[in-house]
Amino acid sequence: MNKTTKHKRLTLHWGLSILLFVSFSLAACGPAVTATSVPTEPPSVVTEDQFPNPTEEPQVTTPTEEPQPLPPITILINESPWLAGFEALVNKYVEETGNQVTLNRTPFPGMLEKSRNAVQAPESEFDILTLNEQWYMQFYADGLVTPIKEIDPNFELDPQVIEYEWATRWDPELGYSSENGEIYGLPINGNIMLFFYRKDLFEAKGLAAPQTWADVEAAAEALQDAPNMYGYVIRTNPPNWEFQGFLAGYGGKLITLDEKTGEWEVTINQEAGQKALATWLKLGTTYGPPNYADIGQPDMASLMMAGNAAQFVLVGASASDFDNAEKSFVVGNVGATVLPGEMAGSNATMSGIWVLGVPHNLPDERKQAALSFLNWALTKDAQLFYAQAGAIPVRQDVYEEMSSDPTRGWWMKAMADSTPFIHAQPRLAETPQIIEVVDRRLKQAVAGEITAEQALAEAAKEIHKILTDAGYKVKPLAE
C-alpha cells in the first residue's frame, strides 16, 4: 500500500514537473502575435495598419493579355512634412502600374532602428528603405543596401537627377562617397538649406537679397527691433548642420580628403572655421532672441510665421509653411535665396537629403520590383507631380520648370539656383561621432561655457582622435 502511494506520488511529481516545463517552454518559444492582415483590394497604397506579408507569394489574377504586376513592395518611410507628397506619388504609381505598395510610416526616431533590424533579418521586411543624410553612408559602407547595378546591370542615372555631392555613391577603395563610386541609393527628398528673409522689410529699407555674410549682418543691424523683430536667428539645437553651411561659405570643411593620397586632414579649426564661427556666433547672440542657446528648427519657423524674425537659414521644405495662411502672419512676404558666402559667388548650401535604398537581403524578384518603383519615381513627370503635391523633388529640370509656379516658384527658383553650391557633411562611418563632437563644442561656445577658439581647437583634437582610432591616414593637426 505504502509502495503504491509512493509510486503514485512519484508519478504525480514527475508529471507536474514535465507539464510545468513544457508550458513555460511553449510560452517562451511561441510565435509573437502580429497585427498584420492582407489587404484585399489592390491597387491602393496600404498603410502601416494593413501590412501584407512581404514574403508571401503575390496572388496574380490578372488576365493574360495585361502585363503581370510585380510583387507587392513595402517602403519604410519617415513621417515628415513631405510624407503627403510621397503618398500622392505612390498612389499615382499604384494607379498607373497596378503594382501594390505598402507604406510603413515611422517617426524619425524609429527610422534608423527599423532599417537596421530589417537588414539584419534573414529576409528584409521592407523592399525599400528611406535613409537619412546622417546614416546612409553606414549602409553603403557595410554593404547593407544593394548596389543598383547589381539589380540592373544596364542602369544609368538620368543626369537631371541631382546627386547632392555624390550622396548616391560609395567608393569602397576610397572608403568615401565619390564621383567614381558605385550607385547604392537614389535621392527621393532633395532637402537643402535656403536663406529666408522678410522680402517686405528688406524692400522697405531699400536692401537687396544678401549675397555675403557681411550683407546679412548689415541687414540684421538695420532690421533689429527686439523683442518685436530679431535681426537674425541661428539654429542651436542642434547647431552642426547650419554651422557647416556657414563654414562652406567661407571655403572650409570639417575634414578634407586628399583623394590622391587618401589622407585626411582635420580643417575645422583653420582660418575658414574661425571666421565662420565668429560670424555665426555674432549673428546669433547679437541679433537673435534671448534664448538663442536653445533654438530648434520649429522655433525658428514659429518666429518667422509670427512675424518676429527678419532672416535665417532653414531647410527648403519649410517654405510652404510661411505661405500657409492658417499658420502664418507673413504670407507672401518671405523671400528665399541661395545661402550667402564670404564673398559674392562663394555661396554654399548643405545637403540634408533622404535616399532610397534596396536592402541586400531580398530575393531578386523583390529587388526588381523595388527598382521598378525607384526608376518610375525619378522620371520627370513623376517628379513634377511630386513637387506639385508639396514634396521636395530631386531633379534640376523640375526645379527650373517649377520656378515659374505662381505659389511655389519663389523658393523653387532658390532651390534651382542652389544646386551648383551643394556641399555635403563628411560621409564616413564615423560621421555620427564627428557630428556629436561638433554639436557639443558649438553648443558650449554658444552657451558661453568655452570660447570660440577653444571650441574649434578642442573639436579638432577630438575629430583627429576619432579618425586616427578608426585607422584612417590623418595628417598631423595644424596648430
Partner 1 sequence: MQSSLDSSLPPKPPSLVARFGNFVDRTFQYWTVAPLVIVLLLLVAYPTLQLLRMSVSEVDIVKGEVVWEVVGLKHLETALQDQLVPIALQNTLVFVVAVVVIETFLALVISILVSRSKHLDGLYRTVLLIPLLVPPIAIGTMWRLMYDYNYGFINQALKLIGIVAVPTWTANPQLAMPSVVLVDLWHWTSFMFLIILAGLESMPQEVNEAARVDGASEFQVLRFITLPLLRPTLITAIMLRTIFAFKVFDEIFLLTGGGPGTATEVISLYIYEVFSGQFRLGYASFLALGLSVIISVFVIFYRRLGRRAA
Distance of CA 319 to the CA centre of its chain: 17
To partner 1, the closest distance from the beta carbon of 433 in angstroms equals 5
Q: How many residues bind partner 1 (CB under 8 A)?
A: 57
User: In the complex with partner 1, which residue's Cβ is closer, 9 or 149?
Assistant: 9
36, 55, 143, 454: which one binds partner 1 (CB under 8 A):
143
With contact defined as beta carbons under 8 Å apart, do 354 and 191 qualify?
A: yes
Give CA angle at 422 (417, 428), nearest 5°.
Answer: 165
CA atoms of 121 and 114, how far apart (whole Å): 11
Q: Which of residues 445-474 bind partner 1 (CB under 8 A)?
A: 446-449, 458, 462
- Please list, residue by residue across 405-430, b when 16 or more beta carbons sit within 10 angstroms of its beta carbon and e when fewer do: eeebebbbbbbbbbbebbbbbbbbeb
Map residues 239-258 to x or -, x wherever contact with partner 1 holds by CB under 8 A.
Answer: --------------------
Stretch that binds partner 1, among 98-106, 204-212, 274-282, 285-293 (CB under 8 A): 285-293
Answer yes or no whether residue 432 interacts with partner 1 by CB under 8 A. Answer: yes
Name which of 119 and 167 has its Cβ closer to partner 1: 119
Amino acid at 464: H
Q: Which is nearer to partner 1, 146 or 279 (CB)?
A: 146
> What type of residue sits at position 52?
P
Per CB under 8 A, does 363 bind partner 1?
Answer: no
Q: Which residues contact 16 (CB under 8 A, 6 or more apart)?
A: none
Of 248, 254, 293, 355, the one binding partner 1 by CB under 8 A: 293
Q: Which of 8, 15, 23, 473 binds partner 1 (CB under 8 A)?
A: 23
Could you say which residues in the range 105-134 bind partner 1, by CB under 8 A? Answer: 112-113, 116, 119-121
DSSP tag of 340:
P
As a whole number of angstroms, the distance between CA 199 and CA 82 comes to: 25
Closest to 369 (Cα-Cα) out of 54, 111, 156: 54
Question: Binding residue for partner 1 (CB under 8 A) from 114, 282, 327, 360?
Answer: 360
In the bound complex, what is the minimum distance in angstroms from residue 302's beta carbon to partner 1?
Answer: 7
Residues 29-88 contacting partner 1, CB under 8 A: none
Measured CA to CA in angstroms, residue 7 lies from 3, 4, 14, 19, 21 at distances of: 6, 5, 11, 18, 21
Helical pair 83-97 and 380-388, crossing angle rounded to 10 deg: 140
Q: Which is nearer to partner 1, 27 or 33 (CB)?
A: 27
Q: How far is CA 278 from the centre of its chain?
A: 28
Q: Of these, 259, 294, 365, 453, which contacts partner 1 (CB under 8 A)?
A: 294
Chain positions 372 to 391 lying near partner 1, rule: CB under 8 A, are: none
Between residues 143 and 420, which has the closer beta carbon with respect to partner 1? 143
Nearest Cα residue to 459 out of 439, 437, 474: 437
Site for partner 1 in 302-341 (CB under 8 A): 302-303, 306, 308
How far apart, in whole angstroms, are the C-alpha atoms of residue 166 and residue 399? 19
Pairing mode of beta strands 101-106, 45-46:
parallel
Using the rule CB under 8 A, which residue among 295, 414, 438, 456 binds partner 1?
Answer: 295
Q: Which stretch binds partner 1 (CB under 8 A): 36-44, 82-90, 397-405, 444-452?
A: 444-452
Q: How many residues does the chain have?
A: 479
* Three-state SS sequence of 381-441: HHHHHHHHCCCCCCEHHHHHHHCCCCCCHHHHHHHHHHHHHEECCCCCCCHHHHHHHHHHH
Q: Which of 44, 97, 274, 361 is the binder for partner 1 (CB under 8 A)? A: 361
- Applying CB under 8 A, among 2, 34, 154, 291 the residue interacting with partner 1 is 291
Distance in angstroms (rounded) separating the CA atoms of residues 211 and 346: 9
Between residues 196 and 410, which has the closer beta carbon with respect to partner 1? 196
Distance CA 140, CA 159 (A): 21
Site string for partner 1, 214-233 (x = CB under 8 A): -------------x------
Cell numbers 527628398 correspond to: 189
Q: How far is the CB of 415 from partner 1 (least distance, A)?
A: 28
Spatial contact of 116 and 124, defined as CB atoms under 8 Å apart: no
Least gap, CB of 134 to partner 1 (angstroms): 8
Contact present, 166 and 177 (Cβ < 8 Å): yes
Closer residue to partner 1, CB minimum distance, 407 or 451 = 451
Q: Which stretch binds partner 1 (CB under 8 A): 60-68, 212-220, 416-424, 435-443?
A: 435-443
Please, what's the largest Cα pairwise distance for the chain? Answer: 112
**Which helix or strand (DSSP H or E) is residue 285 part of?**
helix 271-287
Q: Which stretch binds partner 1 (CB under 8 A): 58-66, 252-260, 297-305, 397-405?
A: 297-305
The only residue of 42, 81, 289, 390 in contact with partner 1, by rule CB under 8 A:
289
Write the single-letter amino acid at 215. Answer: D
Which of residues 135 and 376 has its CB atom nearest to partner 1 in the complex? 135
Q: Site residues (CB under 8 A) for partner 1?
A: 6-7, 9-10, 13-14, 16-17, 20-21, 23-25, 27-28, 112-113, 116, 119-121, 135, 138, 142-144, 227, 236-238, 289-295, 299, 302-303, 306, 308, 360-361, 432-433, 435-436, 440, 443-444, 446-449, 458, 462
